[in-house]
Structure 1
Amino acid sequence: MIKKYFTGFLSLIVFSGLISPEPKVYFINLQEGDVVESPVFIQFGLSGKGIAPAGVARPDTGHHHLLIDVGTYLDYSKPIPATNKHIHFGGGQTETSIDLLPGQHELQLILGDLYHVPLSPPITSEKIKILVR
């Protein structure tokens, strides 16, 4: 009988949203150390949040930004710049093919809000290094 009540209590907690996983962004098809050819096909994964295009205000959403060879991204309070090292996917895209020069490249995903500002707290992927042949 105690087991029955305990199981019911756990179900209530899990399904009521009291226990929710931390949101995360990740690379679906790439891993640390992968050797690839250009153009590089990249798929973006997201759990715990939704995708909405830039400029669209929806709760618990954002859109992807791909950082290429950026190193340390420091200012999470300002919009992510639009450069060849900070690629915006403001249309809500979840994949891309991108031309990269041969050599090693460091990639990271970061989720931005409707104004391209990183969410608070920041939701970033692990940095991965790939080798482009």
Structure 2
Amino acid sequence: MKFQTLTLAAVVAMMASCSNADSNNEVSTEEAPAMEEATSTNMQSDDPLAYEEGARVFFMTPTAGEVVSSPVHVDMGAENIEVVPAGELSYNTGHHHIIINKGHISKGETVPADEQHIHYGQGQVETELELEPGNYTLTLQFANGLHQSYGEALSETIEITVE
């Protein structure tokens, strides 16, 4: 019985260490925090989507109309709003999402987690996208700690060509 308990503990420990291995900058759909897990701190408004005037997000690279090769290096910018990991609600903060071949998410809607809606919930500001050759629309969408979109005001959409 003691051997079985030790074996079970070793298996659980091994599984936990493997689940933390993430060689890519993306957060998988399984790792995206559930809405009920987020906590609220430093809220200067009752509105979980409140932010400072002049806040904006933008693609630093690539630029609109650029012809690139895969993997596509993407640098994500934010001005007058702080990029932080998901999971906590805090005034004037959030994290990036890249939406492939779709537009912005309406304000207050939860950003889906799938192949077209890539979450950067660890607060990442750069990534590499593996894209097949073709024309793409990329939308950078900012969302709060619950993955609720700040809407079109905190998004930017560009078109690129991958050769």
Whether TM exceeds 0.5 here: the answer is yes
Q: Equivalent of 2:98, from 66, 71, 93? A: 66
Letter in 2 for 1:106: T
Matched letter for residue 78 of structure 2: L
* Cα distance in 1 between the residues matched to 2:152 and 2:140: 14
- Name the residue aligned to 2:76: 44
C-alpha change, 1:99 and 1:118, in structure 2 (3 Å) is same
The residue correspondences of 1:86-105 to structure 2 (distance < 5 A) are 86-105=117-136
Q: Percent identity?
A: 33
Number of paired residues? 112
Unaligned regions of 5+ residues in structure 1, if any? 1-19
* Aligned counterparts of 1:95 and 1:45: Cα–Cα separation in 2: 9
**Cα pair 1:111 1:122 within 8 Å, conserved:** no
Matched with 2:160 is 130
Give deviations 1:3-44, integer Å, cap 9, x for gaps: xxxxxxxxxxxxxxxxx7511100112111111110100000
Question: What do the CA deviations read for 1:41-77 (whole angstroms, capped 9, x no partner)?
Answer: 000000010011110222210000101101x445432
CA RMSD of aligned residues (A): 1.7
Separation of aligned partners in 1, 2:155 and 2:78:
10
What secondary structure, in the 3-state scheme, does the structure 2 residue paired with 1:92 have?
A: coil
Q: 1:61 to 1:46 in 2, by over 3 A?
A: same
1: CA distance between counterparts of 2:122 and 2:91? 17
**Which of residues 95, 98, 111 is equivalent to 1:80?**
111
How far the C-alpha of 1:121 sits from its partner, in A, is 7.3
Distance (whole Å) between structure 1 residues aligned to residue 59 and residue 152 of structure 2: 20
Indicate if the aligned counterparts of 1:66 and 1:87 stay in contact, CA closer than 8 A: yes
**TM-score w.r.t. structure 2 length?**
0.64
Return the TM-score normalized by structure 1.
0.77
What stretches of structure 2 of length at least 5 have no aligned partner? Answer: 1-51
Q: Secondary structure of 1:117's partner?
A: coil
Report the AA paired with residue 29 of structure 1: T
CA contact (8 A) 2:110 2:148 kept: yes
- Contact kept, 8 Å, 2:72 with 2:129, in 1: the verdict is yes
